Amino acid sequence: MREAGGYGPEDEERWFHEPPKSARRSAFERDRARVVHSSALRRLGAKTQVLGPGTDDFVRTRLTHSLEVAQVGRELGKSLGCDPDIVDTACLAHDLGHPPFGHNGERALHRAAAGIGGFEGNAQTLRLLTRLEPKTFTPDGGCVGLNLTRASLDAATKYPWLAGEGPLRPDGTRTRKFGVYREDRAVFDWLRQGAPVGTRCIEAQVMDLADDISYSVHDVEDAVVSGRVDLARLREDEAREQVVTQVRDWYDPDVTDDDLFDAMDTLGSLPSWVHRYDGTRRGLAALKDMTSQLIGRFCDGAAGATRERYGSGPLTRYDADVVLPPSILAEITVLKGVAAAFVMAPREGEPVYRHQRRVLVDLVHVVYERAELALEETFAEDWSRADGDDARLRVVVDQVASLTDVSALKWHARLCGTDADPRVGE
């Protein structure tokens, strides 16, 4: 049995039992090490965060983003009494399932996999952790992925439900995000034993907030350095309206438009806010200080509000929920809206992004048709074991999702006979 504010033997259980190991490291420390040493984590270094890895020498990749999320999440989780290695593991793992070309690629694979339940980066993460990443095998030769503990797997599950089973939104529809494919239901049911239906453990909530904080702040930082965003524009009515409109189109958080406008006013009045970036070393230092101050502001706001509600004891698993003050939620959302309005949304119709989507859809079709020759050996083994066309298509999607931005273009050039230059449009 688990005591409140702690972790019990059931939290340390693994999907497939492993012989006892040295007590030198805890089970949760082993989980973190397994993710750190995984090939899936290394591949994130060549996958798009917001701007492509080859855009410039400064831009963040999925790997650097994950490292930053882990730093933010570890400190926030520790302040609440969570095991820091569980939170660290969840943060490092949270983007492992994302395909080439960021969310642009995710949409393309979702379309290509529509007949088998679609594609979702978070569900792919669970699949990778429990099935695809080579680490632990059962006696009959089945791969159980990294075979993490129940607590770490649960913490890495941002959306603990299947497609169409998520929580209802205010308009009566269900969220499109989900965290598990139907064919991975068995391990999902195991890791969720004893968990309230549809409720995330506090470690997963910390991971999710750390992700939101990191990309809201760092995506804006990247956009400023690249010249795509001028923060001084947030004093202009037209730009402010554009941000709010974009927030409503993409995020629709539980805050009012007035809250969002107030958040822009508050952010712009902060002493660390950079109204003008001049590209100098001193200017870059000021921008880095702004991001540091914002991260501290958001984490302190969440930790303080959570402690105010639940007290000073350790908060673990299902003992509590992270509390985010509405004003902090509005500020984080505004930053997400800035990046969306001035970087992500304008690029949607550009030839390079249409080409990226076409590349992945093409690859799914051609790899399926030429699977015996095209699949890497690890996925060819899955193909040979697959039971039916749907299962084989899922293997192909697994293969394509595993590629990096660069390797996807090279595969497309080799298999489809087209120019691998991502600037080629449709």
What would the pLDDT profile of 195-210 be if each residue is shown by its tens digit? 999 999 999 999 999 9
pLDDT of residue 170: 72
The C-alpha angle with vertex 234 and arms to 233 and 235, in degrees rounded to 5, equals 85
CA atoms lying within 13 Å on the CB side of residue 400 = 32
* pLDDT of amino acid 46: 86
- 9-191: CATH topology is Hypothetical protein af1432 (1.10.3210)
More confident residue, 48 or 106: 106
Q: What is the dihedral of CA 379, 385, 387, 390, to 10 degrees?
A: 0
Average pLDDT, the chain: 92
When comparing pLDDT for 275 and 5, which is higher? 275
pLDDT of residue 203: 98
Given a cut of 60, is residue 374 above it in pLDDT?
yes
pLDDT of 422 reads: 42
Mean pLDDT in residue range 332-355:
86
Within 10 A of 304 (CB to CB), how many other CB atoms are there? 14
Opening angle at CA 190, ends 189 and 195, nearest 5: 70
Average pLDDT over residues 380-395: 96
pLDDT at 2 over 90: no
pTM over 0.85: yes
Lowest mean pLDDT among 48-52, 248-252, 290-294: 48-52
Res 421 pLDDT > 70: no
Q: What is the pLDDT of residues 346-368, one digit of tens each?
A: 776 678 888 999 999 999 999 99
Task: Write down the pLDDT at residue 173.
Answer: 82
Burial environment of residue 243 by CB neighbours within 10 A (0 to 12, 13 to 18, 19 or more): buried
- pLDDT at position 418: 58
Question: What mean pLDDT comes out for the span 306-313?
Answer: 97
The percentage of residues in the chain with a pLDDT greater than 90, rounded to a whole number, is 81
The residue written with tokens 């991502």 in the block is 422
* pLDDT of 290 higher than 90: yes
- pLDDT value, residue 95: 96
Instruction: Tell me which of 361 and 57 has the higher pLDDT.
Output: 361
Check pLDDT > 80 for residue 25.
Answer: yes
For 87-134, the pLDDT digits (tens) are: 999 999 999 999 999 888 999 999 999 999 999 999 999 999 999 999
- Structure token pair of residue 269: 């009045």
Cα 170 to Cα 175, 323, 421: the distances in Å are 10, 20, 43
Question: How many alpha carbons lie under 13 Å from residue 340 in its C-beta half-sphere?
Answer: 20
Average confidence (pLDDT) over 4-21: 89
Q: Where in the chain is the domain with CATH 1.10.3210.10?
A: 9-191
How many Cα atoms sit within 13 Å of 366 on the Cβ side? 17
Which residue has 């540091």 as its token pair? Answer: 292
Q: How confident is the model at residue 417 (pLDDT cuts 50, 70, 90)?
A: confident
Half-sphere exposure of 64 (CA within 13 A, CB side): 15
The pLDDT value given to residue 58:
52
